[in-house]
């Protein structure tokens, strides 16, 4: 089960990685090409705006780089990291925002579970993707998470807020951000946060602070873009 991430690990990133290794440059930006990877990439290309698609691919590439340096012993499958990264923000599309009153990442987790279960008939695979998506904004210091959930948290918060920067090499960030352009990303994501908090003020995004989380995003020091 560890190839799907069902191994418990501390949710607190500092406890999960108490002594970070020095990051090494990871300059290969290949994406998985398995049939399920292709299917999911085509699915999200139709539904996600390009800024969100590029963010999702950056999240995958950061995850691979961080795992190589910080968790070389993990057996997590790169295909499931790719699928989960591609689908993690599927709940933010216009159609999905008006389709539900549920928090975007919870609804995104449900849609993704259905989609992946239909494609794979593999419940453990679909559960793993769904659990990680549902918990990708569930940051905190107590308890545990799957390894897939932890790496998704690390990489999304790295791209959005600039935290966990010590876990990745500058040259790695450089090559990924040039290939999968982040032009306009922070404003786009800040807008998504506002939209979520406006349409679903009861939602989970509010637990990250209103408007603190949006301000953290706009104050991201990892800038490859002009605001």
Is 156 a residue that touches Zn ion (CB under 5 A)? yes
| Nearest distance from C-beta of residue 137 to Zn ion, angstroms | 9
Of 4, 80, 72, which is closest to residue 36 (Cα–Cα)?
80
In DSSP terms, which residues pair with 144 in a beta bridge?
A: 10
- The angle formed by the CA atoms of residues 96, 39 and 32, to the nearest 5 degrees, is 115
* Burial status of residue 60 (CB atoms within 10 A of its CB: 0-12, 13-18, 19 or more): buried
Range in contact with Zn ion (rule: CB under 5 A) among 5-13, 83-91, 103-111, 168-176: 83-91
Least distance (Å) between residue 121 CB and Zn ion: 28
Q: What is the DSSP letter of 45?
A: H
State the Cα–Cα distance between residues 154 and 137, nearest whole angstrom.
10
Does the footprint of Zn ion cover residue 89 (CB under 5 A)?
yes
Q: Of the two residues 69 and 89, which places its CB atom closer to Zn ion in the complex? A: 89
With CB under 5 A, what is the number of residues at the site for Zn ion? 2
Least distance CB 199 / Zn ion (angstroms): 17
All residues at 6 or more sequence positions from 216 whose CB lies less than 8 Å from its CB, including other chains:
161, 209
Whichever of 156 and 220 has its CB closer to Zn ion, that residue is: 156
Q: Which residue number, 93 or 156, has a Cβ lying nearer to Zn ion?
A: 156
Compare residues 9 and 57 and give the one whose CB is closer to Zn ion: 57
Rounded CA separation 215/171 (Å): 27
Contacts of residue 28, Cβ cutoff 8 Å, sequence gap at least 6: none
Taking contact as CB under 5 A, which single stretch among the options 27-35, 98-106, 152-160, 173-181 is the one that binds Zn ion? 152-160
Least Å distance, CB 22 to Zn ion, is 27
Evaluate whether 103 touches 192 at the Cβ level (below 8 Å).
no
CA distance 11 to 223: 26
Residue nearest to Zn ion (CB): 89
Stretch of 33-41, 81-89, 115-123, 141-149 contacting Zn ion, by CB under 5 A: 81-89
Q: Which is nearer to Zn ion, 156 or 205 (CB)?
A: 156
- Please state the φ and ψ torsions of residue 126, each to the nearest 5 degrees: -65, -40
**Window contacting Zn ion (CB under 5 A); options: 22-30, 66-74, 77-85, 156-164:** 156-164
Piece in contact with Zn ion (CB under 5 A), picked from 73-81, 87-95, 127-135, 193-201: 87-95
Task: Using CB under 5 A, list all residues that contact Zn ion.
Answer: 89, 156
């Amino acid at each position: 089960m560890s190839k799907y991430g069902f191994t418990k690990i501390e949710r607190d990133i500092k406890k999960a990685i108490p002594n970070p290794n020095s990051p090494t440059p990871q300059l290969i930006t290949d994406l998985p090409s398995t049939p399920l990877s292709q299917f999911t990439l085509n699915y999200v290309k139709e539904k996600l705006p390009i800024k969100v698609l590029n963010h999702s691919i950056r999240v995958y590439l950061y995850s691979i780089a961080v795992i190589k340096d910080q968790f070389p012993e993990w057996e997590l499958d790169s295909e499931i990291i790719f699928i989960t990264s591609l689908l993690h923000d599927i709940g933010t599309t216009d159609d999905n925002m008006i389709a539900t009153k549920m928090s975007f990442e919870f609804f995104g987790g449900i849609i993704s579970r259905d989609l992946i279960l239909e494609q794979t008939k593999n419940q453990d695979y679909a559960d793993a993707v769904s659990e990680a998506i549902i918990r990708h904004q569930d940051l905190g210091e107590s308890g545990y998470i799957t390894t897939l959930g932890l790496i998704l948290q690390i990489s999304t918060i790295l791209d959005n807020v600039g935290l966990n920067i010590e876990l990745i090499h500058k040259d790695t960030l450089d090559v990924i951000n040039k290939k999968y352009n982040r032009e306009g990303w922070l404003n786009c994501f800040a807008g998504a946060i506002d939209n979520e908090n406006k349409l679903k003020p009861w939602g989970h995004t509010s637990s990250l602070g209103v408007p603190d989380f949006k301000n953290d995003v706009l104050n991201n020091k990892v800038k490859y873009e002009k605001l």
